Each structure stands twice: as structure tokens, then as C-alpha cells.
Amino acid sequence: MYQASYLKHFTEEVFLAIGCRPEEARLAAEVLVSADLRGVDSHGIARLAGYVRLYDHGRLNPTPNIKVVHETPSTAVVDGDKGLGLVVAPRAMEIAMEKAEKVGSGWVSVRNSNHFGIAGYHAMLALQKEMIGMTMTNAAPLVTPTFSLEKLLGTNPIAVAVPALNEPPFVADFASTAVAYGKFEILQRKGLPAPLGWAQDAKGEDTTDSNAVKSGGGLLPLGSDREHGSHKGYGLGAIVDIFSGVLSGANFGPWVPPFATAGFMSAQEGVGLGTGHFLGAMRIDGFRPADEFKKDMDKWIGAFRGAKAVKGKRVLIPGDPEREIEAVRSVEGIELLEPVVLSLSELAKRFGISFESNL
Amino acid sequence: MYQASYLKHFTEEVFLAIGCRPEEARLAAEVLVSADLRGVDSHGIARLAGYVRLYDHGRLNPTPNIKVVHETPSTAVVDGDKGLGLVVAPRAMEIAMEKAEKVGSGWVSVRNSNHFGIAGYHAMLALQKEMIGMTMTNAAPLVTPTFSLEKLLGTNPIAVAVPALNEPPFVADFASTAVAYGKFEILQRKGLPAPLGWAQDAKGEDTTDSNAVKSGGGLLPLGSDREHGSHKGYGLGAIVDIFSGVLSGANFGPWVPPFATAGFMSAQEGVGLGTGHFLGAMRIDGFRPADEFKKDMDKWIGAFRGAKAVKGKRVLIPGDPEREIEAVRSVEGIELLEPVVLSLSELAKRFGISFESNL
């Protein structure tokens, strides 16, 4: 078990070692390890070596000049200057919130960025200011849209954070696919098959092969097949791609460069700059008095959480599972898998940083 | 077969007969019959009698005073004054577009409205102004969130319209459920079972009973079950409900009043005013020069439409199916089912309007 503070400190040291500015290294560490704290292990410190690999390949600028390249009072395009998405996205969210402060809402499309960690982190920044936060990002193509044999979309997540009064906030954060790719990696390690409805094979047929995505197949959009609405998951992933990539001038669709899956994917020649994100903030009192709204959110949450449930289960509010895991892990610490510990040990050795392997 | 112009004229006459203002009766007819033209038969003239029923029950104000009750430069709450959603939503979209014209984007949450027809119609209004349009609405509870035995959400659709250059626009318009309720009504008429993954029964178990929603069961969120991401479809429907209902001060969650399903649902005591919508518009050139963006949208559409497909199929762009149906129906006319023709004949008789039944 590792305490979050220890992992954050280590991550910060690694980002400093590749030349990040101190305050940005600290922020990036905070964002990255928030994923481990919230139970989204696939997006946390397990990917630290991946960010370093981006740096090694010249795709990551440790001292980016993040700037607004075009704007109106409520909209902007931000160029991330090849910076860490972990740093670019919070900066873009700040800009969105500054605009919301002035004109009610702010919407920022980001180009020339990299993977930004968990979408929910950035959306939740809005909660501190009595705003609704929204975040999306495109990602390298792993997903075959309905009837397609080609991978054209990433898992393209969307997160929305909404404040409540006495209840904890509503925080939805989900990929536009049936499952995230990380679930396949877990099955691959264990040599287990996948349920039908998660992936298709190279011929476009539903498959239980947990290696299908690596061998010509693709992840299925949310809905799994046409009969169960996969065209809706495809539509949702497409909206995320257009808002993040096309609106900003980043890469989009099949051209988004690979990150975590660099092992079996090669970037096609680009059509824009880096990876794209889309971030928005709306002031609650741009619509209703914040207290009235938050009281109604408590009522909303109460109705859902209190609903009669299937035997042995309960109805969860988006954000409940992550919050419950965070409550445990922030006390008991975070368990890391052996390959993750090994990758951190290697980074420690390379950069001359101390890291206590527990293997 | 009926020509769209004939059905629009008839619909306009009916709305005039219940006291709507001439220009609003015409607009409402235009919006309603656009659903039939685009192949969304469940949301078109088949529901005309339903709107009249709302009027009969005192829930519809034919001469509403639609007004902004609160606003900032980029946000507003609009009160629909119990008007036809078919009229309230286009007015709210106009307000969103006026705001976008001035400050880059406009976001309007609507309370005290009624069913607004197809979400896509309103989103597409933005296309005429080189804007991206977004529309959502909440609806009466038919959907059981993941693990819930209670129906807490409507089919809560979302529509996004994005302009392209030489390609037709991207128009996604989909419910946040595995299927729309209309698909069950078709199966019920034919006495056929439903595929698994569309609905659950009163015990929360997956069922093929096409009457399940009427007998204690519920529609399943997009994703169908937890293993295939139903919590994501639930999250999406919840976001739509919060933006449409809680942000505006309309009813939300289990309290949204019934419309099409009034036959087997009773409205619980309300927590707000009427049904809620959420409409947004973003000026393309609030982000990038519109021509550059639209050229990239053509490239996006080309990559997807040109992708290698499963044998006998092709990869469709959101909006393709509806556009293709519209091209046919605007020439050949619209086929109406017998119960729909009967309901229109009854309306004709009641209001002394001519209607040529083809039965």
C-alpha cells in the first residue's frame, strides 16, 4: 500500500526530472494521482511511464506556453503547446470559469495537448465556484463505430460535475464506449475472455477475445450493437471528438495520436495539433439562485438514492463509487500492481529519485 | 400517402382550433410534421391528439407569454407559460442564438413547457447561422436507472447539429435509453416480444415482454445492463434531466408530468413547473474561422463515411438516415398508420376541419 501523498511526491519528482516547472509538476501529480484515489487505476500513476515516453518521443513540452489563440466573451480556443494535458486542462478550465464569472458561461476548446488524466477532475474544479463543470477529450482511435471495420474514435469520455447543498456533488464521468480499454488489459493479464458486447473482431463480429482490439478488432460504442443503440454511443463519441478536436484545430477521428496504446498503434499523419479537449463552466446563478438550485439537487439525489432497488443492490448517484473509494484510499492507501511498481522503480532509477518498492 | 404540406396544413388548423395564435400554430405544425418527414413517426402527427388532450386537461396554454425570467449575457431561464413545447423551444433557441451572436455562445434552460417534438429540429435551427446547436429535454419517467426498480428518468434525448461545408450537416439526435418507447408500442400492436436488453420487468430482471413498462417494469438506459455500461446511459439521462429540469425550475426526475404515456401513468405532485428543456448555440467562429472548421468537418465526415464496413452495411453519419428518409417522403409523401388516421379523423370531426381519410 502506498499513501497518496507519497505517490504524488514521487510523481512530482518525475515531472520535475523531465524539466517541468515546479508548480506545474505539482499540479500534474495532483491530477494524475487523483485517479488512483478515486479508483480509476487505469488513468493514474500506472500511466506515469507513458507520459515520460511521450517526452522521450519529443511529443511533450515540459515548459509549455499555454495560450488563448482566439476568443469571444464566452468561448475560446487554447493552444496547449504540447504540454501535459494534466496541466493544460486545469488552465483551460480556469479560463472557462473566468468567462463564466463575467458572462454566465465559458467554453474552451483545446488543441495541441496530451492525455489529461481523468475527465472528472477538471469538471470538479467548477464545484468550488458554484458552477456546473463539463469536460470532454478525444483520444486515439480504438473504437469501431456502428457497422465500421475501422477504428475511428477514441473512448472519448465526458464528465459533468454539479454541486448540491447537503448531499455530495453529482459527478458523472464515463467513456462513450461499453467499457474502457483498461478492462481488456486486466482480462489480458489474467488470460480471461471478455463478455460479448464489449469488442468486435477483425470481421466486425461480436467476440469474447480479450485481445481483439490488438488484432484488427475494435472497442464497441456504448450500446454494443445496433439493436441496443450502439449508434447512440457512436453519436456521443462523435460529439466529443468534434467539440474537442474539430472545434479547436487538434487532431480528430482516426488521426488522434496514440498514448497508452502506443504499443500496438501508430499515429497516422496528423490533420491538426495534438490531442483535443473541450471544457465548460456554467454559473448556477446564471440560471437560478444557487441555493434554490442546490436544494433541488438534494431533492433529486434523494429521490434516486432512496429508490427501491434490485435485491442486494442500491441505486447509486454518479460520483458515489469514486467518492466511496476515495474515502477509503485516502486513509488506507493505494495498492499498486506489480508491473506498475516495476515501472515506477525504473523511473526512479533513471532519474535518481528514491522509490520504495514493496515487491 | 399524405403530402407533408397537407399534414402541416391540417395540424395548423387543429392548433388554430384550440386557440393558438396563427404564426404559432404554423410553427408548431412545421415542427411536429418535421418528425414525420424525417422518419421519427413516434414524435410526429401521431401525437397531435396528445397535444389536444393536454389542452383538454388544462395543461396547455394556447396563447403563452413566453419570457426570459433570469439571464446573463450567455445564459437564461425561459418560462414557457404552459405553451406548446413545439413553440417554446424554437423561441428559446432564438434567444440562445441571439446571445451567441453577441458573446459567442448562448445557453437557455426552459421551464413550464410541454413536449417539444423532435430534439433535432431545434438543434438544426443553429445551422442557418453557422452555429453548433444543442438541445435536450426531460420527459415523464419510463426509465429505471441501473439497479433501480423505480422509474426515475424519461427517455431524455439529446441532439447536436454541426454544420459542414460540402457535406450535409452532422445531426445526432438520440434518446439516452437503449430504445425509444415507440419501439415497444410497435411490438405491442403486432403482439411480438422485445429483444433482451430493452426493458426490465417489475422485479428488475431483463425481459422480452413488450408490455413490461406498463406492468411495473421500466425502459433500460443506453448500455442495457451494468456490465455493458447502463450506468453511463443513466448518467447521460441524468445530465439531461438536471440541465433541463433542475437548472430551469421545471419538474425533474420522477416528477416530470406524463405526455404520450398518459394512458398508464399518473403525474406525481410536482416539484417545479411543467417539462424542462435545455438549448444551446455556439458560434463556430467563436472558436475557429468557420470555413476552416467546415472544411475539417467535411474531412471528418469523409473519413467516417468512407470507412470499410461490415459486409452489406455502410458507416452512417449521424443525421444520414433521417435526411435520406426526408428526401423520399418530401416527394412521395408520408404513410400514416390506421390508428393515426382515425385519430386525425376524430380531431377533424370535433373541430369541423376537413380531413381526407384514406382508410
For A9-29, give the DSSP string. HHHHHHHHHTT--HHHHHHHH
Question: What pTM does this model have?
Answer: 0.97
Report the C-alpha gap between B304 and A253 in whole angstroms.
8
Which positions 6-65 of B are in contact with A (Cβ < 8 Å)? none
| Interchain contact A202–B (C-beta under 8 A) | no
pLDDT tens digits for range A7-47? 999 999 999 999 999 999 999 999 999 999 999 998 999 99
Q: Are strands B131-137 and B158-162 parallel, antiparallel or unpaired?
A: antiparallel
Domain end call among B258, B286, B314 = B286
pLDDT tens digits for range A221-243? 999 999 999 999 999 999 999 99
Could you give the number of structural domains in chain A?
2
Q: Is residue B140 part of a domain?
A: yes
Q: Is residue A309 part of a domain?
A: no
Q: A224: phi > 0 → left, psi -120 to 50 → alpha, else beta; which?
A: left
Considering the domain architecture, whether residues A29 and A72 belong to the same structural domain is answered as no
Considering the domain architecture, whether residues B53 and B72 belong to the same structural domain is answered as no
Residue A107, beta-bridge partner list? A75, A280
Min distance A10 CA to chain B CA atoms (Å)? 33
Residues of B with CB below 8 A from A77's CB?
Answer: 287-288
Q: Which residues of A34-50 are buried (b: 16+ CB within 10 A; e: fewer)?
A: bbbbbbbbbbbbbbbbb
Q: Is residue A58 part of a domain?
A: yes
CA distances from B339 to A102, A242, B38 (A): 53, 41, 20
Confidence of residue A197 (pLDDT cuts 50, 70, 90): very high
Report the C-alpha gap between B98 and A53 in whole angstroms.
47
| Interchain contact A176–B (C-beta under 8 A) | yes
CA distances from A41 to A254, B15, B86, B215 (A): 26, 56, 46, 41
Q: How is residue A70 written as a grid cell?
A: 482566439
Residues of B with CB below 8 A from A308's CB?
Answer: 148-150
Min distance A303 CA to chain B CA atoms (Å)? 8
Residue B200, beta-bridge partner list? B206, B218
Task: List per-residue pLDDT tens for chain B, 359 residues long.
Answer: 999 999 999 999 999 999 999 999 999 999 999 999 999 998 999 999 999 999 998 899 999 999 999 999 999 999 999 999 999 999 999 999 999 999 999 999 999 999 999 999 999 999 999 999 999 999 999 999 999 999 999 999 999 999 999 999 999 999 999 999 888 988 998 899 999 999 999 999 999 999 999 999 999 999 999 999 999 999 999 999 999 999 999 999 999 998 855 555 565 668 999 999 999 999 999 999 999 999 999 999 999 999 999 999 999 999 999 999 999 999 999 999 999 999 999 999 999 999 998 87
Report the C-alpha gap between B261 and A107 in whole angstroms.
37
Question: What CATH number does residue B29 fall under?
Answer: 1.10.1530.10
Considering the domain architecture, whether residues A72 and A58 belong to the same structural domain is answered as no
CB burial of residue B266 (10 Å; 0-12, 13-18, 19+): exposed
What residue ranges in A72-115 does DSSP mark as E strands? 75-79, 105-113
Chain A residue with minimal CA distance to B300?
A253
Q: What is the mean pLDDT of chain A?
A: 95
Chain A residue with minimal CA distance to B172?
A235
Report the C-alpha gap between B141 and B151 in whole angstroms.
5
Q: Is residue B203 part of a domain?
A: no
Chosen from B70, B75, B160 to mutate, greatest number of chain A CBs within 10 A: B75
Which positions 150-169 of A are in contact with B (Cβ < 8 Å)? 150, 152, 160, 162
pLDDT at A64: 98
Report the C-alpha gap between A98 and A90 in whole angstroms.
12
Considering the domain architecture, whether residues A118 and A244 belong to the same structural domain is answered as yes
pLDDT at B189: 84
3-state secondary structure (DSSP) of residue A60? coil
**SS3 track for B135-148:** EEECCCCCECCCCE
pLDDT at A266: 60
Considering the domain architecture, whether residues A330 and A244 belong to the same structural domain is answered as no
Domain end call among B286, B311, B339 = B286
pLDDT at A185: 85
Report the C-alpha gap between A163 and A107 in whole angstroms.
19
Considering only the beta carbons, identify the residue of A235, A296, A309 that sits closest to B174. A235
Considering the domain architecture, whether residues B165 and B57 belong to the same structural domain is answered as no
Min distance B88 CA to chain A CA atoms (Å)? 17
Residue A245 is given by DSSP the state: I
The answer, yes or no, to whether residue A263 has pLDDT greater than 70, is: no
Q: Is residue B194 part of a domain?
A: no
Q: Would the CB atoms of A286 and B160 count as touching at under 8 Å?
A: no
3-state secondary structure (DSSP) of residue B292? helix
Q: Quick one: what percent of chain A has pLDDT higher than 70?
A: 97
Considering only the beta carbons, identify the residue of A224, A303, A318 that sits closest to B235. A318
Q: Is residue B16 part of a domain?
A: yes
Considering the domain architecture, whether residues B236 and B104 belong to the same structural domain is answered as yes
Domain end call among B242, B264, B286 = B286
Measured CA angle at A157 (ends A229, B174), to 5 deg: 30
Considering the domain architecture, whether residues A235 and A91 belong to the same structural domain is answered as yes
Min distance A187 CA to chain B CA atoms (Å)? 14
Torsion angle of the four alpha carbons B104, B110, B113, B115, in this order, in degrees rounded to the nearest 10: 60
Considering the domain architecture, whether residues B34 and B76 belong to the same structural domain is answered as no
Q: Which amino acid is present at B279?
A: L
Considering the domain architecture, whether residues B227 and B140 belong to the same structural domain is answered as yes
Q: Where in the sequence is the domain holding B275, given as residue range(s)? A: 65-178+220-286
Q: Is residue B297 part of a domain?
A: no
The answer, yes or no, to whether residue A358 has pLDDT greater than 90, is: no
| Interchain contact B312–A (C-beta under 8 A) | no
Q: Is residue A190 part of a domain?
A: no
Report the C-alpha gap between B14 and B29 in whole angstroms.
9
The answer, yes or no, to whether residue A267 has pLDDT greater than 70, is: no
Among the listed residues B79, B123, B43, B15, the one whose alpha carbon sits nearest the alpha carbon of residue B275: B79
| Residue showing cell 448500455 | B223
Considering the domain architecture, whether residues B250 and B336 belong to the same structural domain is answered as no
* Residue B316, number of CB atoms within 10 A of its CB: 18
Residue B315 is given by DSSP the state: P
CA distances from B55 to B26, B259, B346 (A): 17, 11, 16
Chain A residue with minimal CA distance to B204?
A310
Q: Would the CB atoms of A74 and B105 count as touching at under 8 Å?
A: yes
Considering only the beta carbons, identify the residue of B234, B288, B309 that sits closest to A77. B288
Report the C-alpha gap between A195 and A212 in whole angstroms.
12
Among the listed residues A54, A171, A169, A167, the one whose alpha carbon sits nearest the alpha carbon of residue A112: A54
Chosen from A68, A74, A97, A288 to mutate, greatest number of chain B CBs within 10 A: A74
Q: How is residue B318 written as a grid cell?
A: 449521424
Considering the domain architecture, whether residues A74 and A132 belong to the same structural domain is answered as yes
Q: Would the CB atoms of B172 and A147 count as touching at under 8 Å?
A: no
Report the C-alpha gap between A319 and A160 in whole angstroms.
10
Q: How is residue B354 written as a grid cell?
A: 376537413
Question: What CATH number does residue B89 fall under?
Answer: 3.30.1370.60
Residues 6+ apart with CB under 8 A from B163: B127, B130, B131, B132, B169, B284, B290, B294, B297
Report the C-alpha gap between B159 and B157 in whole angstroms.
7
| Interchain contact B268–A (C-beta under 8 A) | no
